[in-house]
Amino acid sequence: MDKNDKIVSVVRCEDYGRIRAYEAVKRSIELLGGIGQFVSPGQKVFLKFNMLQGSAPETCIATHPDVVYAVARLLKEHGCKVVMGDSPGSGLPYTKAVLKKGYAVSGYQDVSEELGIPLNYDTSYEGVMAPSGRLMKRFSVIKPAVEADAIVNVSKAKTHSLTNLSGAAKNMFGVIPGLEKPMYHANFRNADDFSRVIIDLNEVVRPKLQVMDAIMGMEGDGPHSGTPRKIGAVLASGDYSAIDVAAARLMSIDPRKASTIRAAVERGYLKEDFSDVTVVGDDLESLIVKDYKGPSTFEGLSAATADHDSKLTRVASMVKEMALRPRIQKSRCVGCMKCMRSCPVKAIAVVNKKPSIDYKKCIRCYCCHEMCDDHAITLERSLRGKVMLKVMNIRGR
């Protein structure tokens, strides 16, 4: 089996547990030809999980530590020199103290101690050229990803308020150092352009192996404020776009409506009908969660409108009222101002010791909503936006 083929293995895994996850991950990689198809003994491997900002495993915000344990153990048994890590979400600085707290809360510190595999605390980064990039020709990339002989991407199956799906491709945004992330949202303000940048980034760092934790996913307003939802599977692939197509199907998301997948199709990395994606292992159809809840930012769209989501995104950027906008619930807000620090266009200011949003500046990237630990930011559509969306849906029929 060619590791460059768009083959995705799907293995049923009903629950977590170190041994159960290890056996499922091992089988998923064996279905692709084995770990040796992707890495070699003695190689420096950066195992990149999805930490976001550090959250307890049961919240399903981060890659579950049992899945991280499984992949790390397989790499160690193969003779690789493994370092594990991630950079935090856009509301946090990239510092050793932030990393230490995030690793501990998410359960990765325990994995590190059990396996004797180090976590990354090097907070330096380097500029990496992207000569084939369409929108970006240079990225700042954290040091362990730059120095690795191979990157293994261990992502989480989640929804995303901007891109619809947060899977393998989106997870690599975590190699951008913490507080640099908002700049990308500021420069690439709609889902399609942002996703094109994500594809540029994936083509630069080129992960060798993809493993996805879809035992428990997140539905609703992911990647931070959604709700845990059981899927019951572990996925693996050598291709980030192929594994995202399979994940989207498991989550009842039309792959065409996930902007990172759409960007891969646009680039020619996937066929428009996804006929080049082959699924092996357990029956994917039997694992599909048919009532999986998508982000509220994608609700209420007619089929005709949603099929032309790229056009809708451009319209929404001109007529902001049509898009959901973040609204601060003052009664829940603790005044931490993480939302203000994460805003790429400085649309949030302090008024009477509480954050206040300037909607004229707000670009609807939802970074503030994503980073609020206290769920004090909701996503709501203005009255004018509701009327405009209703008119668009009528015309789209």
Average pLDDT, the chain: 90
What sign has the CA pseudo-torsion 108, 114, 117, 122?
positive
Question: Are 21 and 234 within 8 A, CB to CB?
Answer: yes
Which residues belong to CATH 3.30.70.20 in the chain? 296-396
> How far lies 131's CA from each of 134, 170, 189, 342, in Å?
9, 20, 22, 29
Which residues belong to CATH 3.40.50.11440 in the chain? 7-287
Using one digit for the tens of pLDDT, what is the confidence trace for 123-177? 999 999 998 999 999 899 999 999 999 999 999 999 999 999 999 999 999 999 9
- Model confidence at 302: pLDDT above 70: no
Q: What does DSSP say about strands 325-328 and 125-129: parallel, antiparallel, or unpaired?
A: unpaired
pTM score, two decimals? 0.84
In whole angstroms, what is the distance from residue 312 CA to residue 195 CA? 15
- pLDDT score recorded for residue 305: 37
Question: Are 200 and 135 within 8 A, CB to CB?
Answer: yes
Task: Look up residue 119 and give its DSSP letter.
Answer: B
Q: Between residues 397 and 59, which one has the greater pLDDT?
A: 59
Question: Are 365 and 325 within 8 A, CB to CB?
Answer: no
In whole angstroms, what is the distance from residue 90 CA to residue 342 CA? 5
Using one digit for the tens of pLDDT, what is the confidence trace for 227-248? 999 999 999 999 999 999 999 9
Cα-Cα-Cα-Cα torsion 73, 49, 32, 284, nearest 10 degrees, comes to 120
**What's the CATH fold of domain 296-396?**
Alpha-Beta Plaits (3.30.70)
Helix (H) or strand (E) holding 153: strand 150-160
7-287 under CATH 3.40.50.11440, yes or no: yes
- Model confidence at 314: pLDDT above 60: no
Question: Are 156 and 63 within 8 A, CB to CB?
Answer: yes
Q: Which residues pair with 357 in a beta bridge?
A: 348
Q: Which of 66, 54, 65 is nearest to 21 (CA)?
A: 66
- pLDDT score recorded for residue 387: 78
